[in-house]
Structure 1
Amino acid sequence: MELVFLAILVLLMVVALTSGFPVAFSLPGSAILSIGLAAACGYLFAGDSSAYFAQGGPVQWLSAGVTNFRSLYWDVERDTLIAIPLFIFMGIMLQRSKIAEDLLVAMAQLFGPVPGGLGISVVLVGALLAATTGIVGATVIAMGLISLPAMLRNNYSHSLATGTICASGTLGQIIPPSIVLIILADQLSSAADQASTIRKQLYKDSTGELSMPSVFDITSASAGDMFMGALIPGLILVGLYVGYILIVALVKPKLAPPVPYEGQYDRQFAKRILLALTPPLTLIFVVLGSIIMGVATVNQAGAIGAVGAMIMGGYRLTEGQKNSYYPAILAIGSTLVLLVILSLYTLNIKNIGDDMVGIVLAFIAVAGLLVAVGWSALRSYRIDNTLNEVMVETAKTTSMVFIILIGAAMLTSAFRGFGGEELVKHFLTGLPGGFWTQFIVVMLVIFVLGFFLDFIEIAVVVVPIVAPILLADPGANVTAVWLGVMVGLNIQTSFLTPPFGFALFYLRGVAPKIVKTLSIYKGAVAFIGLQLLALVIAGFYPSLVNYMPNRTYLTSENAPPPMNPRLQMCLEEQLFEVYDSEGDRLRASIAELQGADLSSLPKKWQKSLVESGENAAATFTLVAAVREAEANLLNYTPDYAPMHTDVRRTEAQIRIVDKQVTGWKLTLDRQTREDDPDQGQMNAIKTKIEELQSYRAELESEIPDQWEASREKFVALQKEEKKARNRYRNNVDNAYEPIMKLREVLAGADALAAMEEELAGLKATIANTDAESAIDAIKLVASHLGDVADTSKIKSQLSKARRALKGDQPKTDKALAFHAKAMELFHAEVEWRQSAAQQMGPVLSSYDEAIAYSIGLRLQKRMTSDQAKSVARCQSVHRDISLNF
């Protein structure tokens, strides 16, 4: 019965959407009606309102709906959605203030003389507007009103002209900042959590181990990651559009003839082009650059974009007036002053006493910036009521997006409640060909849905259902960013695909009657093909998507240390090549340390350095052992992998059968407890159970007899490789740690010597003051000693002195004896440290420089920039980890 109500849910949604009922009410309405009908039928015919639900019941569904509503509006973990109204405001403000119109005219004049130049300019402007607005309808309409008449006047092919405008207008869906990418990031963050749970359960079922290693877990995708991931595919798409138009113009010049510029290429022309291009390009650089460099979050970048758009709108709306650029100049000047102040002062309210001058100057600069923003806002409000209209449109669009998000969450909960998610999961996992078959089917479904649904409905209805299944697959092991960008590229086609492509409708509404609807459809087909080509390119080369997010993260201030478990495989892949290419140099440095005179060091440190040198020298042998173990595993894998895949698939089917048997047994148990059980129905259930058990036995017989032995051998080889890698990692840590600690100790020699007077002064304090004051003084000196490395012996004696002063009868003589011992240790420490700093300091410095970012890399705080980029490239490739499951 659950499937009946699932079909009713889908049917209601389809009927509501195709009849033109608003999406914001179609989605939750379908869910409410189907849930209510299922609950009523369950109560009337089965005596239980939850009887016809696969999971939970109407109460659980209502609870889930409330939770979704609360999380959407109040959960700080979903603050990514705050960026949506900010970017919408930015886009609409640039459209209403005619910044976009200026950009179109300038680019057309600049590229017009080139073959296909008008079309190329439309594509480039579409890309620039996409990077500043992301509003498809406004972009298509603006370019349709400005560019289409010019293209038609210059004898451009109707289909090429309209296709170019429609396709360029949709670039805002994939080129960041994009509302689609923000919504996808929000949906994929939840999907990644579900996929992680599925993968952990799969690991437990497959291996019997309770916890899955963190390196096999799934990483969620933030909006910033999605922006970085979509950047290169978006540029590739722009390149494909430009290349196509250029080829058409060269092969068939009549379809896209060049348009000579009638004016003069003089200083005025250059000034006009710069004024049209510089502000939008600056805004793009500031918004995206701040995210890429880790200076700002997506929300902060959105706020910067909104403020920047309002300042730009302020001077554009007053063009020709004397004071047009005063607010913009004030804003730029205040920002530059703030940057200078930040470089000179530490602007923290806690430092208000120390950096009062900097805080006052910053306050003045911020006040200037606020005046500039307020001035621009006032202009936008007074001139043509622009600000009011922009804010109203922003509120409408944002409300529409959020209402659809809530409705989709209700629909998805109902879909899961009727077992739809399990149905989809079983269908996808049952397809032959594994992940790629599942992925292609999902992409085809999304592509077809794009003929009928808007991008938001697809993103919030389809993605939460299929994304956890695709992300959980350990064979493909795709990243959430890659999946999101692939879905985003696919969704982009929804604006171009006839008969319901919204970009086609937008252009039809402003195109002259001479342009036939069929021409618009024809023009869109070629660009749909280019979008699908971009989809294929991103699919075959996932590093195009994954590299930028990885690089941004690994080179940021918040980059993980090289010790991070997720980085080890890629780090070692890089370091082993370094050992091959620079092995002789490293061995020479190790030999130099081993031959150094260590007499200036205490025996403890002499022993540590000797062991450090031995461990460093052993690195190359351990690397060879890792390679040998890895080769043994790789040589065994080709024969083992097919059997592993088949057996794990069979075991998954067995688990499904077991689950079905358990469900039928529960149904049979409920039947037997009834006063008048239906014997015919009970016999049918027993027959079904027997059939399933027989099928289970058939599945078990398909598992090869040699499976257990083959699996044991693979696990043994895998463990041997893991042991070899752990031996290497422990060895290099032990090789470098003494060097790092000794250098820290010697670096603090002068600081320790400077504390002599403070430490010696404790003698008089202990002898001449009360015990409580002496204890406080000892604590203070001990805390200062704590700032110097390896002073625990001295601190230990001071601690004993402090304890001697405690109690009702302080033992002053005993405390003084401990203090004297502390002074003796202090002088000994200062003496050997200063001597060793002179003799061993240069040797250690040279040795550390030689091995710090090879043998000692794991213990560094961060990788070098080149290493981070290399690791980013390595991690950008999807690696099959299914043999670990």
Structure 2
Amino acid sequence: PFGFALFYLRGVAPKVVKTIQMYKGVVPFIALQILALVIVGSNPSLVNYLPLRSSLVGDKAPPPKNPKLQYCLDDYIFNKLTADTNSLSYIANFENKSFNDFPEVWQKKVDSSIESAQKAVQMLKAAKAAELEVISEAQNYKPVLMSVRNSERQIRKQEERLEELKVLITQSKGKDAELEKRLDDKRQSILSELTGLKEEKPENWDNIFTEFAQLRDIETKSRTLFRRNADTAFQEIDNVILILESSEAFVSVENDILRVGDIMNNGDHGVAIDEIKRLTVQLGKITAASKVKSSLSKVRRELGKKNPKLEKALKSYNKALDSYYEMKDNLLKAESYLPELQSYQANLGNLISLRQLKEIPRDVALYLARCNSGHRDISLFF
């Protein structure tokens, strides 16, 4: 600002404006800059926090599945579980509910969701325990790691120098005996230094590195299993909910399916094909209708052949009818459970299955901004 005031403003401002007046004008801006530097100097993470906060709470925020957010997202979930011991009670409550007349085909998915949710919690706790062990062991491991990596860097540099010397020695051979001797002496000196550097590495370094790597792998594997099980818990129940939510649309196509059978019995194959094409497009938008759509598509393909076999087409059509009425019966039995399933899914999405949400909740976004703005030491992974 002083330079700007002195060199630029002085050149464009009228002569009546004194240089000292220009300095007075920029003093407030300089003061603001100094204040900003003091704030940033006392709290360096603020430099990362503000843009991260703006990004995570904005309209174009990344989804919760963004790989860069996973470590802090795990931390957020674990802290919530630790702070509120009753935060997982909904899993036990849901497991204890009576699903006596619930269709078996979906009961398996519900059971799988509950089992995966319980495993997810176990894996998250295992990951945090492994992380604490890594932090504890790192106090002794990191100084050794830094020393070894430093020695390895020096070894690589000296080996590069050796290669250069080999070329120079080859080029000077038979031309300059004195130069050749100096180069050879230098080579011997580097070889001696290399020997010393290699001896600096602890004899049991490979074992030390392997043991610590195993600790890191336990943490990494536990985190991976936590995320996988948390995703499965949400997705399994989501599949059932999507089917049940399509119940009304599924029931509404019954007459259209029956009309296809009447058209086939009348021998109007071309009309039947057109009707099936229209119907399969409609069924494709209904989650519960996948089997019915598949069977009707077989009917359409058979009727579209040069010499169609009506008996084969009717067999596929009857299979479509059986699938339809079986699904309709299951939907009627299960529709009363939909609110409980939705409530369970919402609870999963609020905590252990946060990754499955389309958008990051504001309170989670603020936590992630704080967490990701700090420095995380990843040197132990190299």
TM range (shorter): 0.7 to 0.9
Alpha-carbon distance between aligned partners in 1 of 2:84 and 2:177, rounded to the nearest angstrom:
81
Matching of residue 609 in structure 1 with residue 106 in structure 2: no
Alpha-carbon distance between aligned partners in 2 of 1:727 and 1:585, rounded to the nearest angstrom:
20
Match of 1:797 in 2: 295
* 1:739–1:663 distance in 2 versus 1, CA, 3 Å: same
In structure 2, give the amino acid aligned to 1:547: Y
What are the residue-to-residue correspondences of 1:722-871 with 2, within 5 Å? Answer: 722-767=220-265, 768-770=267-269, 774-775=272-273, 777-837=275-335, 839-871=336-368
Q: How much has 1:717 moved relative to structure 2?
A: 0.8
Match of 1:638 in 2: 139
CA offsets 1:583-625 (integer angstroms, 9 cap, x no match)? 31431x2233222232333212112212322333444433332
Matching of residue 578 in structure 1 with residue 75 in structure 2: no
* 1:770–1:507 distance in 2 versus 1, CA, 3 Å: same
In structure 2, give the amino acid aligned to 1:586: L
Contact 1:800 1:815 in 2 (8 A): yes
Alpha-carbon distance between aligned partners in 1 of 2:104 and 2:300, rounded to the nearest angstrom:
30
Contact 1:797 1:822 in 2 (8 A): yes
* 1:816–1:696 distance in 2 versus 1, CA, 3 Å: same
Alpha-carbon distance between aligned partners in 1 of 2:16 and 2:151, rounded to the nearest angstrom:
61
CA offsets 1:358-414 (integer angstroms, 9 cap, x no match)? xxxxxxxxxxxxxxxxxxxxxxxxxxxxxxxxxxxxxxxxxxxxxxxxxxxxxxxxx
- SS of equivalent residue, structure 1 residue 724: helix
Q: How much has 1:646 moved relative to structure 2?
A: 2.0
Q: TM-score, normalized by length of structure 1? A: 0.40
Alpha-carbon distance between aligned partners in 2 of 1:793 and 1:862, rounded to the nearest angstrom:
32
Q: How much has 1:881 moved relative to structure 2?
A: 1.0
Alpha-carbon distance between aligned partners in 1 of 2:194 and 2:285, rounded to the nearest angstrom:
67
In structure 2, give the amino acid aligned to 1:857: L
What are the residue-to-residue correspondences of 1:242-253 with 2, within 5 Å? Answer: none
In structure 2, give the amino acid aligned to 1:614: E
Contact 1:600 1:832 in 2 (8 A): no
CA offsets 1:147-205 (integer angstroms, 9 cap, x no match)? xxxxxxxxxxxxxxxxxxxx4xxxxxxxxxxxxxxxxxxxxxxxxxxxxxxxxxxxxxx
Match of 2:69 in 1: 567
RMSD between aligned residues: 3.2
Q: How much has 1:737 moved relative to structure 2?
A: 1.8
Alpha-carbon distance between aligned partners in 1 of 2:140 and 2:94, rounded to the nearest angstrom:
47
Alpha-carbon distance between aligned partners in 1 of 2:54 and 2:258, rounded to the nearest angstrom:
51
Q: How much has 1:550 moved relative to structure 2?
A: 1.7
Q: How much has 1:571 moved relative to structure 2?
A: 0.7
* 1:516–1:571 distance in 2 versus 1, CA, 3 Å: closer
* 1:571–1:505 distance in 2 versus 1, CA, 3 Å: same
The unaligned stretches of length 5 or more in structure 1 are 1-166, 168-495
Alpha-carbon distance between aligned partners in 2 of 1:607 and 1:546, rounded to the nearest angstrom:
46
Alpha-carbon distance between aligned partners in 2 of 1:624 and 1:739, rounded to the nearest angstrom:
23
CA offsets 1:222-241 (integer angstroms, 9 cap, x no match)? xxxxxxxxxxxxxxxxxxxx
* 1:765–1:685 distance in 2 versus 1, CA, 3 Å: farther
What are the residue-to-residue correspondences of 1:201-600 with 2, within 5 Å? Answer: 496=2, 501-509=3-11, 510=13, 531=33, 534-535=36-37, 537-587=39-89, 589-600=90-101
Contact 2:288 2:327 in 1 (8 A): no
- SS of equivalent residue, structure 2 residue 315: helix
Alpha-carbon distance between aligned partners in 2 of 1:792 and 1:663, rounded to the nearest angstrom:
69
* 1:544–1:657 distance in 2 versus 1, CA, 3 Å: same
* 1:830–1:679 distance in 2 versus 1, CA, 3 Å: farther
Alpha-carbon distance between aligned partners in 2 of 1:540 and 1:696, rounded to the nearest angstrom:
44
- SS of equivalent residue, structure 1 residue 560: coil
Match of 1:884 in 2: 381
Contact 1:538 1:544 in 2 (8 A): yes
* 1:514–1:848 distance in 2 versus 1, CA, 3 Å: closer
Q: How much has 1:782 moved relative to structure 2?
A: 2.6
CA offsets 1:59-98 (integer angstroms, 9 cap, x no match)? xxxxxxxxxxxxxxxxxxxxxxxxxxxxxxxxxxxxxxxx
CA offsets 1:737-777 (integer angstroms, 9 cap, x no match)? 22111111111111111222333333245453346x65554
744-753 or 553-562, larger mean C-alpha shift: 553-562
Q: How many residues align?
A: 380
In structure 1, give the amino acid aligned to 2:228: N
* 1:595–1:514 distance in 2 versus 1, CA, 3 Å: closer
In structure 1, give the amino acid aligned to 2:136: N
CA offsets 1:653-689 (integer angstroms, 9 cap, x no match)? 22222333334444555x37x9x85555555444444
Query: Percent identity over the alignment?
Result: 35
Contact 2:121 2:352 in 1 (8 A): no
Contact 1:735 1:855 in 2 (8 A): no
The unaligned stretches of length 5 or more in structure 2 are none
* 1:829–1:700 distance in 2 versus 1, CA, 3 Å: same
Q: RCO (CA 8 Å, sep 6+): is it higher in 1 or 2?
A: 2
Alpha-carbon distance between aligned partners in 1 of 2:245 and 2:291, rounded to the nearest angstrom:
18
- SS of equivalent residue, structure 2 residue 84: helix
Contact 1:547 1:876 in 2 (8 A): yes
Q: How much has 1:718 moved relative to structure 2?
A: 0.6
Contact 1:853 1:863 in 2 (8 A): no
Alpha-carbon distance between aligned partners in 1 of 2:350 and 2:159, rounded to the nearest angstrom:
53
